[in-house]
């Protein structure tokens, strides 16, 4: 994540604060993704040098690993920006802007899947389902020790800027 700002400083309307996954989280996820690309690389080189053979299976496995690599790297590129206008969720393929007037709540959401528990922040607007923010985020395998501090900053900023809550 970018600069760590105290809740009092993040409350200023002209202050812009960006949040990303912790560097250790990004590094671990990208390293695993890199290891997944070794298998298709070996299969492609072996097929190119020796022609089709049993190692061609590595090329087919590589297609699946390439998809898994994208799934691991995509979350590491997201960013959440909090400023005087609202909360901006920036991902490589999409950008969403939630104005302070439209936000009804910012809350911590925990989901469980095969890899464990994932803890994220969600923005609630007038719609029924919450909108998950790309950062901060914490996984049971790749925990972010500063998740609670960063989540509290965003929640406090939202509470201070919501209409009728001043």
Higher-pLDDT residue of 117 and 27 is 117
The reply to whether the predicted model has a pTM over 0.85 is: no
Ordered by start, the domain boundaries in the chain are 7-21+78-161, 29-73
- Which residues face 138 on adjacent strands? 119
Distances 113 to 72, 87, 105, 109, 140 between C-alpha atoms, Å: 15, 27, 25, 13, 10
Q: Which CATH architecture is the domain 7-21+78-161 placed in?
A: Roll (2.30)
pLDDT per position as a tens digit, 74-124: 777 888 999 989 999 998 888 999 999 888 889 999 988 777 888 889 999
């Amino acid at each position: 994540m970018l600069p760590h700002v105290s809740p009092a400083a993040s409350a200023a309307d002209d202050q812009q604060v960006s949040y990303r996954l912790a560097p250790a989280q990004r590094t671990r996820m990208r390293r695993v993704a890199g290891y997944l690309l070794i298998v298709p690389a070996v299969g492609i080189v072996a097929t190119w040098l020796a022609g089709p053979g049993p190692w061609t299976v590595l090329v087919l496995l590589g297609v699946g690993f390439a998809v898994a690599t994208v799934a691991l790297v995509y979350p590491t590129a997201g960013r959440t920006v909090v400023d005087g206008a609202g909360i901006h969720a920036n991902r490589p393929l999409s950008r969403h802007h939630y104005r302070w007037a439209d936000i009804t709540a910012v809350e911590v959401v925990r989901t469980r899947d095969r890899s464990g528990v994932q803890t994220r922040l969600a923005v609630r607007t007038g719609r029924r389902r919450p909108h998950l923010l790309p950062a901060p985020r914490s996984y049971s395998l790749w925990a972010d020790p500063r998740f609670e501090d960063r989540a509290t900053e965003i929640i406090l900023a939202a509470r201070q800027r919501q209409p009728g809550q001043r």
